[in-house]
Chain A
């Protein structure tokens, strides 16, 4: 039972264009969502988060959008750069439980082509 799903295992985008990574969740108790980025041979690192009281959160080139009714969130990277090539994990939890109930998706491998 996959509570957090990233249906695209991979995505290839031209440098300078927009990258859009998608994530769906099923558990209505989730109200806190995070994106982690992972380079090869490294652990995941936190990228950006959003709580359910918002529908958008922006940090530089990264923006996360949350559609609660559709139980869907997306990460937009504009403009995409070669250093953004990595695996991106979506994660969700009930915010009151902090990191203790984080559920991760399977990840999407993003490749930025020069």
Chain B
């Protein structure tokens, strides 16, 4: 298995532009997570899906952030409009749903908003 696949690996965009990050979870995993890593706050959970349904989006910082999971093998995180303070590394992770399950992370997308 190729693991969790994220694209793009790096994204540089101008303030105000729309940014879309993509994720393909591990086949068979039914939970998907979007995390953001910053120096100040470490790894923060933004949103997670279970069986393609958003379960908890309380970590989404603002309405500018939205996430979708149209099917079991694809998810997007969109920021519209982007701002410089959104610059961070965004990770997607997936897991099976069982007691004590661990999350498997993708390589991340480094987003820079200028």
Query: Are A100 and B55 in touch, CB under 8 angstroms?
Result: yes
User: Of all chain A residues, which has the CB nearest B103?
Assistant: A99
Query: Are B99 and A96 in touch, CB under 8 angstroms?
Result: yes
Q: Is B42 an interface residue (CB 8 A)?
A: yes
Query: Among residues 37 to 58 in chain A, which have CB atoms less than 8 Å away from a CB atom of chain B?
Result: 41-46, 49, 51
Q: Is B34 an interface residue (CB 8 A)?
A: no
Q: Is B97 an interface residue (CB 8 A)?
A: yes
**CB contact between A95 and one of B4, B95, B100, B107 (< 8 Å): that residue:** B100
- Per DSSP, chain A at the interface is mixed
B side interface size, CB within 8 A:
30
Besides the known contacts A43-B106, A98-B101, 14 further A-B residue pairs in the complex with CB atoms under 8 A apart: A43-B93, A44-B91, A44-B105, A45-B105, A46-B104, A98-B96, A98-B97, A98-B100, A100-B50, A100-B55, A100-B56, A102-B103, A104-B43, A104-B44
Complex interface: chain A residues within 8 A of B31 (CB): 98-100
With known contacts A98-B31, A100-B55, A44–B43 Cβ distance under 8 A:
yes
Query: Are B107 and A43 in touch, CB under 8 angstroms?
Result: yes
Complex interface: chain A residues within 8 A of B44 (CB): 104
Complex interface: chain A residues within 8 A of B48 (CB): 100
Complex interface: chain A residues within 8 A of B43 (CB): 44, 89, 91, 104, 107
Query: Are A43 and B4 in touch, CB under 8 angstroms?
Result: yes
Query: Are B55 and A95 in touch, CB under 8 angstroms?
Result: no
Q: Is A112 an interface residue (CB 8 A)?
A: no
**CB contact between A46 and one of B50, B99, B102, B106 (< 8 Å): that residue:** B102
Which residues in A have some Cβ–Cβ distance to B below 8 Å?
6, 32, 34, 36, 41-46, 49, 51, 89, 91, 95-96, 98-100, 102-107
CA of A74 to CA of B93, assembled, Å? 24
